Structures are given as structure tokens and as C-alpha cells.
Amino acid sequence: MLNSLTRYITLAAGETRELVLINESNIDWHVVQEAGSVLRVHILYLSQDEVDAQWQSSLTVEQNGEGCRSEIYGMGLLRDSQQAHLRTRVIHNIGGGYSSQIVKFVLNDQAKGSFRGELKIQPNAQQTEAYQTNRNILLSRQADMLTEPQLEIYADDVKASHGATTGQLDDSALFYMQQRCISRDMAAKLLLQAFFEEVVSTLSDENVREDITQKIQDIL
């Protein structure tokens, strides 16, 4: 990442930490986890007044002890000519760990987004569970999303998977809600709020969770 600032964090054995990063850019986070530590990271890109705003973030997580847990949640809600680019790297060096990456984008107008998610399981990281999911909704023909999953698995006794989809709002769901006297615009807003709930609901601080929910409603 060009002109970026690198920040290093080490989680001691058994430590739990949550990071909530909202519209941060040009920061390369590098987190090292020791045995039994728990990391939860939220990286959120939320549209603002600047129509051509751009954000880019990078997060690397290394599990260096047994029984680590890493949860990464990403979310982008962009419009106009805004752009957001997220790169994650999760490296399992020792076995018995768990990691999940859930990233969701909703892009409107000429907005652009990208997610490059890397997952690496080293030979010594047996009995690891690692999952990656990317779901995206495009609200206009001009919006564009690029997804690049990359899995490197060098251990045999693991559970690992990845999935990525990009599409539009579900017409059948919109039709169903309209049949119940809900306008199309309101139905779309409700569906998009529900789409992001998987990410927002994992925020542990109730005040932050309510604030993000309100921001989403205001943007939609």
C-alpha cells in the first residue's frame, strides 16, 4: 500500500481485543496472536459527503499460538464515485486455531469496491478451521466490485472454505414485500439493512452498534 502507515499489535496469550475501524485509510495493520487469544476486527466504509472519497486498508493477522480465534468483518456502503479497497491476510502458523472473514459491499451509482482476501494454513497448523465469505450487491449498472480470494493450504487435517457472490437485490423478495403494501424504495432499504445485519450485529458495544445502524439508515 503506497504511503501507508503500519501499526503493529501483539495479543498476549488469552487476551481478547476488538478493533472497530471506520473510514480509515492508508493504514496497514499487522496483528500477531499468541495462544488462546481472541481478535475481532470490524473494517467499515460508510459513504460520506465527499462524492469521490477513496479508502484503502490492509490487515494481516498471524496466529502464532494454539487455540487462537480471529474474526474479521468488513462492510462497504458506497455511492457516487466513491471507492473502497480492502486487503486481508490471515496466516495460521500453529494448529487448533479458528478464523472467519465476512465481507459485504453495497455499491450504487459509479462506486467501486474491491476485496482481496488471503488465507494461508502452514504445514504445522493441523486441526485448523478457516472460512472466508464475500457477498456484494450492485444497485446500478455502473457500479463495480472486484473480488480476489486466495487460499494456500499446506496442512491435511483442516476445515477451510471460501465463497463469493456479486448480484442485485432479490426481485422476488421485493415483490413479496410490495404485495404487503410496502413501497419498493422502503422494501429495498429494509433488505439492505438486513443484508448488513450479519456484520453489524457482531459489534459488541451497543452504542457503536446503534450508531452504525443509524448511519446505514441515513445513507440508504
What are 14-37's pLDDT values in tens digits?
999 999 999 998 999 999 999 999
At 175 the pLDDT is 73
**Rounded Cα distance, 188 and 173, in Å:** 9
At 36 the pLDDT is 97
Single pTM value for the model: 0.93
pLDDT in tens, 141-163: 999 999 999 999 999 999 999 99
- The values of phi and psi at residue 2, to 5°, are -75, 140
Alpha-helical (H) ranges within the chain are 171-178, 184-200, 206-219
**Rounded Cα distance, 87 and 92, in Å:** 17
Residue 183, pLDDT > 90, answer no
pLDDT in tens, 159-181: 999 999 999 887 777 777 777 77
**Mean pLDDT over residues 186-215, rounded?**
92
> Across the strands, what pairs with 165?
135
Average pLDDT in the chain:
93
At 189 the pLDDT is 86
Q: Which strands make up the sheet holding 5-11, listed edge to edge?
A: 5-11, 27-33, 54-63, 83-92, 112-121, 144-153
At 2 the pLDDT is 53
CB 153 within 8 A of CB 124: no
Q: Band the pLDDT of 184: cuts 50, 70, 90.
A: confident
**Mean pLDDT over residues 84-108, rounded?**
97
**Mean pLDDT over residues 69-95, rounded?**
97
| Of the listed ranges 25-34, 53-62, 84-93, 177-186, the one predicted with least confidence | 177-186
Q: Which positions ≥6 away from 128 have C-beta within 8 Å?
A: 92, 95, 96, 97, 98, 99, 121, 155, 158, 159, 160
CB 135 within 8 A of CB 167: no
